[in-house]
Structure 1
Amino acid sequence: MPHARRGRATWLGVLGVGLILALLAVAWLQVRQAALLRQAVEVADDDAVLLVYQAETEYLRLRDEWGRSVDPRRVLDPAALQLRYDIWISRVGLLHNERIGRILADETEFAATLARMDGFIRRADAAFGAGTAGGPTREALRELESELVAMGPEIHGLSLRAAHHVGEQVAARNATVQKHNMVGIGLTVSLSALTLAFALLALRQMRQLDRRRAALEELAEHLRQARRDAEAASEAKSAFLANMSHEIRTPFHGLLGMLSLLRETGLNQQQVSYLRTATESADHLLAILNDILDMSQLESGRMVLMPAPVELRALLRDVEALMRPQAHAKSLALHIAADPALPERVLCDATRVKQVLFNLLSNAIKFSDQGAVVLDVQAEGGDGAAELVFTVSDQGVGIDEATLATLFHRFVQADSSRSRRHGGAGLGLEISRNLARLMGGDITVTSQPGQGSSFRLRMPLKAVPAGASPRPLPGDAPPPPRPLHVLVAEDHFVNRQYMAALLERLGHGAVFATNGHEAVDAMRAAGAKPFDVVLMDLHMPEMDGIAATRAIRALPDPAAATVPIVALTADAFTETRDRCLVAGMNDFLTKPVSPPKLAASLRRLFGNAGTADFGPEPSPGEAEPQADGSPPLLDAAAMALALQAMPRERFAAMVHGFLDQGPLLVQRLRAAIRDAQPLELRVSAHAARGAALNLGLAALASTAESLHEGATHLPAHEIARHVQRFEELLPATREAVIAAGLAQPADADASA
């Protein structure tokens, strides 16, 4: 056997070294493969060349539209020319990047052509007069037309040179691909060899496991048979003990009766002493027989409880009357304490409850030489899982940890010296615990040597009504709502006004922050007047809501770091909700934020102390779409919810204030398109969407959502089309708002 183990270890060592070498080879091949892939990616400039081609395409479209605009026979369309001009400018802006500069670094004409296009754009911007309603005149366009046409050959030559550069790269890329294929073949061979080695090892291990499993199954079958034999023997033993206990207890009752009659006859002092010893011995032997009978019935499952309505305090008086003589004989104080709130009557098996209490109190008295033994009765838990708890405490010798581990095992006695003096079979605690579990409870113990012990009997509390109405529980009346100190982090001015009105309607005060940095600073500087809750918008400049939440959770002040934080966002996606919860937020509200939504969130965080019940949120009706199938201009349900939070005049001022700021927003969106700033476009569109949702401006919210979702992947002309759609919706929405009874106030400042 030692030689076999040594040979197996040597074989495993060789295999292990071989596997390590194979893994090192595979690692080297993967590093080589990564280098080749990186090289292939670095030379892949097709997308950069595509930008040059797209710039030429948009130039040709702009030149055609320019020619139509200067033609006196055609009607001048400033909007169409502006659209083509903006798209071409965006394509020219994309040519200002490192990759195209690297491709055409050796082409001196590239920088000159790019500079000529930039100069033309500066002069054309002056002619177009960005932001003016009239647009350029035909005279200004004719002056610039020749310069625009003159750039055509240069731009076309730039595209040809970029295409030629791509052609040169094709050959180099093919060579790289061939090298990559060779490396891939080598990697495949190595992995195949490694897989084969693992397969052989796994096959060998599976065969060994099959042999071991067969041996274990045979052993398990032997163990199952042994268990069945042991259970059969245990059942036979329990039945024998039960029968024997009955048979022996019957003559013992007769013996005890005769001893009792003998005590009434004339006996001398010595005979009385003998009779007392015989009676005590018979009582002790009968107690042992009763324990054996109870244990046999518990093991065989034949013990049946007899629950019935019981006067709880009468039961406690019976226990005290029977146990007080034992305590008095050892000069111990015995106290029975019951909670006044306990019901008068309970449903239980009084005989078995007394048996357990007798055993616990008898042990407490037996193992105590001074002090007091206390039985305390309390009710614990709520109405659905109320428990009756009997606690027996003593000031006796206590129990060490080693004895506690075996305390409830049969025939085990805590103090063998005392047990020998007082007798007992070591069955009392096991029987008591089994009876407690049969009644749906349990017995636990805590003890320290020299400081006494405490046994707790727990059982379900089943009160029996006595005909009177149940006593009312304290705390039924809910506490009144209290004003909350709220921090609102929101970057859009309309949303700040809306949340101010909403919180004012709910009776709470608000402090506002316009970005995440201000929110963190406000929490850090709260001082003696901490905030109760933070309403955090997710999309804000400088620092968003997720980052601000993490920063607040990291503050050193425990009160500030644990403040409840509620997310406010127009995104209703599950991923967004999960990100909020992972960051440490407590709740999640989607826009539009209605009074019932916010009230329900505050009740979830603060109960009725946070805010009164605002009532359920009305279910939204089906809004009629516009004739072209697009969303309706107004969302009547959202506007109705907003009017719950503020007067009509204040709401009308907010709506018209938002519409008055619409042209400025359009300018920012177009500037973001022209400067190729998709992030700025997304932030502005998202803020507009949230404000429009809160105000019930459905069509504007839908268009802002399309801008937000397509800012990073839609072509520039599609984004420009959405911006134009947003601009066209502003006057139509204002007319719909006025028709809905929200007239523009004389002072159009929405901040009023």
Structure 2
Amino acid sequence: MRLSVWFSITGLLLLATLLAAAFVQARQYTLLNLTVQHQDDYLALNLYQVEIEYLRLREQLRKEVDAPGSPALQLRYDIFVSRVALMHSDRAQRLLTYGEDAEAVMQTVDSFVRRADLYLGSDPRGPLSPQAAAALLSALETLDGPIHQLMLEASHRVAGRVTERQAQVRHHNRIGLALTAFLLAAVLLFAGIALRQMRSLEERRRRQAELADQLRDARIEAEAANDAKSEFLADMSHELRTPLHGLLGMLSLVKDSPRDPRATDWLGAADDSAQHLQRLIDDIIDLSKLEAGTLTLLPAPVDLATLLREVLALLQPLAAAKGLSLRLDSDPALPARVQIDATRVRQVLYNLLANAIKFSEAGAIVLRARQRIDADGVPLLAFDVSDTGIGMDGDTVLRLFRRFSRADDPRARRQDGSGLGLAISRKLARLMGGDLQAQSTPGAGSVFSFWCPLRPAAESPLTQAPALATAARALQVLVAEDHPVNQRYMAALLARLGHHATVVDNGLEALQTLQARAAGAAVPAFDLVLMDVHMPVMDGVDAAAALRALPPPIGQVCVVALTADVYGDTRERCLAAGIDEVASKPMSSVALRALLERRFGNPVAAPGTPGLPALDSPADRSGHSGELPGLLDTATLHTVRDLMGPAGVPTLYGGFFAQAEDAARRMRDALRDADTEALRRCAHTVKGAALNLGLPALAQAASRLNREAGTLAAPHLALAVQRYEEITAATRTLCEGEGLLP
């Protein structure tokens, strides 16, 4: 406050000083301008010349009287007349007009000039005679005293004015010097105050920077702690999943082998426990992603009726086992296709319906789908799940969506569950721009309402039902995949499901094969293209875009992209190129069967072919770079053995390890040449094949190189390559012991 007052006072003083200095400068300019305007010194000299010429003319007239006919008289008269004319100028009048005497003298002078002009003017009437000269001399001599007095007064007046102006200029100069000195002092004072203020601001800025650094450090520590928590949850979940998948795989094998009849119940209990543990781990992973803000929605056009039927089909056996009716009530006015994240909507509805079945002993479970309009006029896609279960009181409803929160009712305590499902469902609903709420009455059941923005999607001309007419026959599938192991795996998987596979190495060959097949009348056209996203020559995205540019029917064939990174930009690029669906690698038989059912109805599999166990997703096996998972995934190994047969497994694994070791050599070359892109491509080719063959540790090492090749420092990147080589050698040794290699 004090500095502000000082700044104000100093500013006002500076302003006043500047105004005064401006006034003094203007005044000095006026005085100098007057000096230039009047030119008094020059005028006084000219007036003095009038008296001189007067005296010269008088002497010449006297000579003319004594000796007439001198030409000098005319010259003297002309000069005198010119000086008299000067006395009639404005400046001379202002200088000479100081009384009646001056006017009388001027009139006498003018009278003399008029008389003299008769003889000496420009148009004389006659020659100047001695008598006329004597008369003119007499008239001229009467002006002797008055002209002298007039010129003397004029000189005094000019001298006074000049002296006065000089005094004023000196006075204003003194004032200007004083103002300049004051202005200098004020500027120095202002500079001192400004310097002090700048130092104060700098000190305050320094303190603020220190505080900002402390806050940033605190934020970084908090974020690091949160990231560590999330990473711990994800790593531990991953570590739990690996033996869990092995347990589930071994249980499935034991179920199919001869055993003690009592083992059926034991294995059923073990399988139920493993399934419950898997659901709990999935909930923990989702919760950690939601809290860390890393869970990303992937909206895409979805057939709403198909989605709802799939959810009910999954839960129908559970409802039937408890004697419950499970019904769908969908508003016919809803759009056929909507833009949503089908996986997350399915997850929320599954949780709500599973809870309704869990807490209901009799009656019906109803899933209603409606369109609503919110207070802002925005259309909403609303779902209501109503049950006839035990219900809840108001206090229970209030804490229902908290983590690990469960009802106090003993009947609810008898049901298993983590207490995370509803908390996750509400977070997902709000992430989608909607919400999840509950209404319940004890003993009368509950109603859970879930809604999200309704965004209708256009009908896809590429995925409509022409294929349904051929759903009962084996499909013609074109597989575009650059890795030989993945090629053999996908071909065997399709053959196992009763379909025909044609394999090509890149997107360009896929386009050429499609065009050649379309041109041949004797060969059936392809029903489906399974397109790897990352391939040499032409990748899957560019190939799909080129395919969509071709005329129908070839340009309308269904295309499904296969990739191990189905996130964000990759998915958006695929959909923008005209790809119908993006699926995760590796593709299990269950996932492939579900894909074919979505796209082509219910294609028949080969007779007598049992369902194959599902492979875990890439995120389950290669998402983190912490402690290594198991070198072999027994469940996937069982799938590959069952799929390829005893003769095909050694060739498949032998070819893979030959390529994996060659990839290690090329990684070393890329590391030496600092070519991170080449290193990343080598790792990418190994990652997908390792996942397909059930080698999670090797897939994780390759995945890390693929993901972090461009960001790791050179020493850390070299260590990662060395780790990949060590894991490759250890995995090969283990595969040899298992009889997987020739």
Return the TM-score normalized by structure 2: 0.34
Q: Which structure: larger Rg?
A: 2
